[in-house]
Amino acid sequence: MEERGWKPTPVQEHVLPDVMDGHDRLVIAPTGSGKTMAGILPLFHRCLSEGWPSLSILYITPLRALNRDVDRRLTELAEAVGLRVDVRHGDTTQAQRAKQ
C-alpha cells in the first residue's frame, strides 16, 4: 500500500488496528472517509496470508452505483496483490454468473 502512495484516513487509522486483530467494528462516518477500505484491507490481508480458496470475500452494497465505485477501487488494489474482484447485480448475465 505504501508503494502506491496510500496513506490511511483518520477513520482507517482508528479502525484498522482493531479490525486487523479480529475485532468487529461498526463504522459510522461520512461518505469518502475510508470505511470500505477499513473493512476490506484486513480481509485482503487474511486472504493472502492464510491462503483462502476462491470466493472468499463477499461484499454486499445496497446500490448499483456503489457497486461500480467499490469495484473500481477494489479491482486496482486486488490486482496489485494477485486477487480478483467481480461484481454481480440484477443485470449480470447468466454467462457472467456462471464464470463467477
| pTM (predicted TM-score) | 0.74
Nine cell digits for residue 36:
470500505
Write the CATH number for 9: 3.40.50.300
- Tell me the pLDDT tens digit for each residue of 32-82: 999 988 988 898 888 889 888 776 787 888 888 888 888 888 898 888 888
Q: Quote the radius of gyration of the chain (alpha carbons, Å).
A: 14
Helix 64-80 to helix 35-50 angle (10° resolution) is: 40
User: Distance between CA atoms of 70 and 52, rounded to whole angstroms?
Assistant: 21
Place of cell 492464510: 50
Nine cell digits for residue 87:
461484481
Structural domains in the chain (count):
1
Enclosing domain of residue 11: 2-99
Helix 35-50 to helix 10-20 angle (10° resolution) is: 30
